Structure 1
């Protein structure tokens, strides 16, 4: 199974910059986007093989997430609570036979950290939500998490220490989340690979010089780590200040374990 996640920073603008060329070339089974920045009816994407699920922010031109999937889900929900339609369109959960897919766009704590308390509350809510799902079946979390977890995950770690996305408390929340039973798929395969970034400032020559941050992730329930075939960062793909991240899984072993456990129950 091939999965892609991409913060497109405005899907309408990204479509004009080659989004569909990449979408068709990568041919993912599940493709997730963040920061769609539109309302219902403002775009029509012709994706004949895919079911489309959108979570729009109430505020126009802001936030928003979407999932395009070849595999029809068993159920779809929006927000952390059943029947909740959270106002910023930051989360979509799709339930499939053997796993949940959760696509998120984590709130930025802002340059002056004025939204940090709200961000930390989000982190706690997200962790509790994912642990609840994980108690039912494994979870695949993807999206823009707006945090560089370790020093290796951004170019200038010393000068950015304490800045939004690299505060000790934000990084600590990520550590706590991973230690509660989840694995960062990219670091699982490439624990020491540096200069692997997913976001670059629009400042002049920053992307060309690869002065970036790795803040976009695929994170899985730890018991799924044996399913990971590949995890990649498609940094050559333009169209946004973020680039797509890619995950390939082989579920045969996972399905065998699931059926065995089901039979035992």
Structure 2
């Protein structure tokens, strides 16, 4: 069975300093999808790029135009049939390094770092536009073969996906608009794979650095593996 791991590393170089390479070696996954790598060629850690731990992997990297911001990276033991960056829209949507698509013989894998609606929801419209275009892109791909979307999607879909829903209804990641966008996506025939196996709350992927949120498990579930429904038996 194929083992795929997704992780918003919030800065690749910082993650390397905290033991990322040891994690890669110990987990020995077939594919790693990293988000928010925040590095360019001139700034990426030589310790990472030169590590023998990465020798079994093909590395694909989509960088934001702005240094130190966003960016996605996919490591895969099996060489993909094709690799596509972004969504070929030649627009503002494709300038932040938010998506890498790797094609394999039996599926497409999309490693995504979707936009955050931002403080004061100043990027909410941008995020909703990005979502709309991405959902359409996924629909196009799945006419050819099954698709998997993984990464930091920057939305807590349901109330059980964050610790304090009542106080966050107007905050980025839990606005009704963002949740409705994700619901509409799932209604097209896609499955939130974690929720297909677990219907309980208390499982989160992000915790604020403030107020000992991690220790108190005051978190958000912002990271997902989503596949089209026909592919679920293979999960």
TM-score class normalised by the smaller sequence = over 0.9
Is structure 2 residue 78 aligned with structure 1 residue 71? yes
Cα RMSD after superposing both structures:
1.4
Call closer, same or farther: CA 1:82–1:157 in 2, change over 3 Å.
closer
How far the C-alpha of 1:204 sits from its partner, in A, is: 3.2
- Unpaired stretches in structure 2, ≥5 consecutive residues: none
How far did 1:82 drift? 7.6
Deviations 1:81-136 (A, max 9, x none): 18889221100000000100000100101020011111100010000000000111
Q: 1:1-265 to 2 correspondence within 5 Å?
A: 1-41=2-42, 42-44=44-46, 45=48, 46=51, 47-81=54-88, 86-190=94-198, 192-228=199-235
Range with bigger deviation, 74-83 or 121-130: 74-83
Is the contact made by 1:200 and 1:207 (CA closer than 8 Å) also made in structure 2? Answer: yes
What CA distance in whole angstroms lies between the structure 1 residues aligned with 2:227 and 2:204? 19
- Partner of residue 244, structure 1: none
Counterpart of 2:109 in 1: which secondary structure?
A: strand
Structure 1 unaligned residues grouped into runs of 5+: 229-265
Count of residue pairs the alignment pairs up:
227
Q: How big is the shift at 1:162?
A: 1.9
Flag as ranges the 4+ runs of structure 1 deviating above 3 A.
Answer: 82-85
Q: Secondary structure at the residue paired with 1:157?
A: coil
Structure 2 counterpart SS, 1:204: coil
- Structure showing greater relative contact order (alpha-carbon pairs closer than 8 Å, 6 or more residues apart): 1
How far apart in 1 are the matches of 2:178 and 2:130? 11
Take 1:81 and 1:62, find their aligned partners in 2: how far apart are those partners? 20
Kept in 2, the 8 Å contact 1:77–1:83? The answer is no
Structure 1 CA distance, aligned partners of 2:229 and 2:157? 17
Alignment TM-score, normalising by the size of structure 2: 0.94
Name the CA distance, whole Å, in 2 between partners of 1:108 and 1:145.
8
Contact 2:11 2:38 in 1 (8 A): yes
